[in-house]
Structure 1
Amino acid sequence: MKLYKKESVQFVNASLEECWTFFSNPKNLQKITPEEMGFEITDFDNKSMYAGQIIQYRVSPLLGLKLSWVSEITFVKENSYFVDEQLSGPYAFWHHKHFFEATENGTKMTDVVHYALPLGFIGRIMNTLVVENKLKGIFEHRRVIVDKMFNTK
């Protein structure tokens, strides 16, 4: 299995607590996900984030094809980091770390995603042709939306 890594860093003009409150709430994921992804939470316990929390959603990453995705929040350190891992969904492996660090001007957010695709050689080709650029686009969309929400005050 070929493991890929995607990292993203963004500085947010908001306190660590404001960033944590927004980004650790699964309901807000839809606000920062491209509309064409068709992101929809289908099951969520409406509680503050905690280790062991299960979140189910549907997403349309390609050609309008609806896929189910189940994530577990595996680690949480309030105002510092959390980790979500795919239990079932389109990836053979998905491990996403979200880090938050107070700075003089707000908060530094760092995302580190490790992922693998199914189908061996075909998955590696799909990563090169589609998935890698799709992930870049999703993170770029998120950067723009977060800038509009927090960095234009």
Structure 2
Amino acid sequence: MKLHQLHSGQALPITPDRAWEFLSDPKNLATITPDHMGFNILSGADREMFPGQIIQYKVTPFPGYSTRWVTEITHVKEGEYFVDEQRFGPYALWHHKHFLKQIPNGVLMEDIIDIKLPFGLLGRLAYPMIKGQLKTIFAYREQKLTELFGKMKGEANFLNIKTI
């Protein structure tokens, strides 16, 4: 069984409270997702985030392929982190940890996503395409967050995807 891990970090010149307010609101996910993905929240985003919250989306990760994606918010420590896990959707496993850490003059937003692809050999063959799509999504997200909140001087953002 191959697991893949995406690890990204972006420094933003905002307070941890402002970062939490934005990132913990599921409705803002549409803002930081590329338009070509047809991201649409179907249900579950009408309340403040809480453990056990189920959120349903419709997403088109690749042209001609649209799917429903159901995630559960499994852990929340207000102002510090939350975890969403796929319950139904395109991956065999999707476990996404979102962390916020105060740094001088801002906040470091860090994501760690553990992913297992479905369909055995077919999934492994599709991995380069999926890896490219994830890089595109996170590059777009970095750009949108910079547009919304500005860029930290002297802080390097990062994105790593590896097989573990």
TM-score category, normalised to shorter length:
over 0.9
Aligned partner letter, 1:95 = H
Structure 2: segments with no counterpart, 5+ residues: 153-164
Aligned partner letter, 2:5 = K
Alignment correspondent of 1:59: 59
Q: Which has the higher contact order (CA 8 A, sep 6+)?
A: 2
Alignment correspondent of 2:68: 68
Give, in angstroms, the shift of residue 121 of structure 1.
1.1
1:61-96 CA-to-partner distances (Å, cap 9, x unmatched) read 011421000000000000000000000000000000
SS of equivalent to 1:46 = coil
Alignment correspondent of 1:15: 15
Alignment correspondent of 2:145: 146
Alignment correspondent of 1:132: 131
Give, in angstroms, the shift of residue 45 of structure 1.
4.9
Q: Which runs of 4+ in 1 moved over 3 A?
A: none
Equivalent residue pairs, number: 152
When the two chains are superposed, the root-mean-square deviation of aligned CA atoms in Å is: 1.2
Alignment correspondent of 2:77: 77
Structure 1: segments with no counterpart, 5+ residues: none
- Quote the Cα distance in structure 2 between the aligned partners of 1:78 and 1:116: 28
SS of equivalent to 1:91 = coil
Alignment correspondent of 1:6: 6
Equivalent residues of 2:27, 2:45 under 8 A apart: no
SS of equivalent to 1:60 = strand
Percent identity (aligned): 45
Query: Normalization by structure 2: what TM-score?
Result: 0.90
Which one has a larger percent strand, Structure 1 or Structure 2?
2
Give, in angstroms, the shift of residue 104 of structure 1.
1.1
SS of equivalent to 1:28 = helix
SS of equivalent to 1:61 = strand
SS of equivalent to 2:68 = strand
- Quote the Cα distance in structure 2 between the aligned partners of 1:67 and 1:45: 18
